[in-house]
């Protein structure tokens, strides 16, 4: 009798243990626990500060890159590097995107051009200059960036080989603009957005930048830049975002937010 009762109780205990084990299994199948997706933040590499294109956490170039990607649902974290290091960081896979990528690499997907730099000759309208060739600046003093004489080519060098005292190249673009507005040079050769940025910021510092300006488009068409991407799908989304920014007018709004000058 005792043997029978013992076997009966063991059978009940075994059945109960199987029941208890299957309950959580059933629950886990019917109500699976799904991990929340982790949001991937893209690392965007840009050059060191060069107002107004890269300024602090923003700038024309940074805002355009960031907003184009945000329109497509991406979040971006900006890291700054020297020009030489920037390209290498992308190729080593330490960043996802590089602005101004100029190399040819089968592992890097290039975007369409997203920004263009336009170098223009600026003079004060009161001088009444018409500049259709370098010779039209003969006898006038002018400033450019450091090493600009090599970038401008043989035509420039031929005219000014004997008149090196008339021109100078300065490392600081702010100094270039300051010299121009203080009347220390008749003309300045500079990217249009950089010129307008310093016209705006120097004006806020009390420098008189209200004189009417003439722009002379003697230099070749602008220089455009592409961005480099590790992932071609992100590149495609970026190109779409740039198109949307331009179509909506936001692209130009970004530029004007850094360069709009009130000369009243």
Q: What is the largest CA-CA distance in the chain?
A: 126
**So what's the pLDDT on residue 151?**
84
Q: What is the CATH number of domain 119-216?
A: 3.40.190.10
**CA distance to 63, 147, 189, 192, 252, per residue, from 257 (Å):** 11, 30, 22, 14, 9
Residues β-bridged to residue 189: 121
Same fold flag, 41-116+224-259 and 119-216: yes
**So what's the pLDDT on residue 153?**
78
**Cβ–Cβ < 8 Å for 205, 27:** no
Per-residue pLDDT of the chain (264 residues; tens, 9 = 90+): 444 444 444 444 444 444 444 434 333 333 334 333 346 799 999 999 999 999 999 999 999 999 999 999 999 999 999 988 999 999 999 999 999 999 999 999 999 999 999 999 999 999 999 999 988 988 899 899 888 888 887 888 777 777 777 888 888 999 999 999 999 999 999 999 999 999 999 999 999 999 999 999 988 789 999 999 999 999 999 999 999 999 999 999 999 999 998 766
Of 107, 252, 73, 181, give the one whose Cα is nearest residue 98.
107
Q: Which residues contact 66 (CB under 8 A, 6 or more apart)?
A: 44, 76, 78
Q: Which residues contact 34 (CB under 8 A, 6 or more apart)?
A: none
**Cβ–Cβ < 8 Å for 237, 72:** yes
pTM of the shown model = 0.82
**So what's the pLDDT on residue 117?**
96
Report residue 51: phi and psi, to 5°.
-55, 145
CATH class of 41-116+224-259: alpha beta
Ordered by start, the domain boundaries in the chain are: 41-116+224-259, 119-216
**So what's the pLDDT on residue 84?**
87
Number of neighbouring beta carbons within 10 Å of residue 220:
10
Do the bridges between strand 213-216 and strand 228-229 make them parallel or antiparallel, or are there none, so unpaired?
A: unpaired
């Amino acid at each position: 009798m005792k043997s029978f009762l013992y076997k009966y109780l063991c059978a009940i205990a075994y059945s109960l243990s199987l029941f208890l084990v299957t309950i959580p299994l059933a629950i886990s199948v019917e109500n699976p626990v799904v991990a929340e997706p982790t949001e991937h933040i893209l690392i965007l590499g840009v050059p060191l500060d060069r107002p107004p294109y890269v300024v602090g956490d923003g700038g024309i170039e940074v805002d355009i890159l960031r907003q184009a990607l945000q329109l497509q649902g991406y979040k971006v974290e900006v890291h700054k590097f020297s020009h030489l290091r920037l390209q290498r960081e992308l190729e080593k896979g330490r960043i996802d995107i590089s602005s101004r990528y100029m190399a040819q690499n089968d592992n890097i997907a290039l975007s369409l051009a997203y920004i263009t730099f336009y170098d223009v000759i600026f003079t004060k309208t009161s001088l009444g200059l018409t500049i259709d060739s370098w010779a039209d600046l003969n006898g006038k003093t002018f400033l450019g960036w450091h090493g600009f004489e090599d970038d401008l080519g043989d035509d420039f060098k031929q005219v000014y080989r004997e008149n090196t005292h008339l021109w100078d190249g300065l490392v600081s673009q702010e100094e270039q603009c300051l010299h121009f507005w203080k009347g220390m040079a008749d003309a300045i050769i500079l990217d249009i957005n950089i010129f307008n940025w310093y016209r705006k910021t120097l004006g806020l510092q009390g420098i008189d930048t209200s004189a009417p300006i003439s722009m002379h488009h003697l230099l070749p068409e602008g220089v455009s830049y592409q961005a480099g991407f590790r992932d071609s799908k992100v590149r495609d989304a970026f190109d779409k975002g740039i198109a949307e920014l331009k179509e909506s007018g936001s692209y130009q709004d970004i530029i004007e937010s850094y360069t709009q000058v009130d000369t009243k």
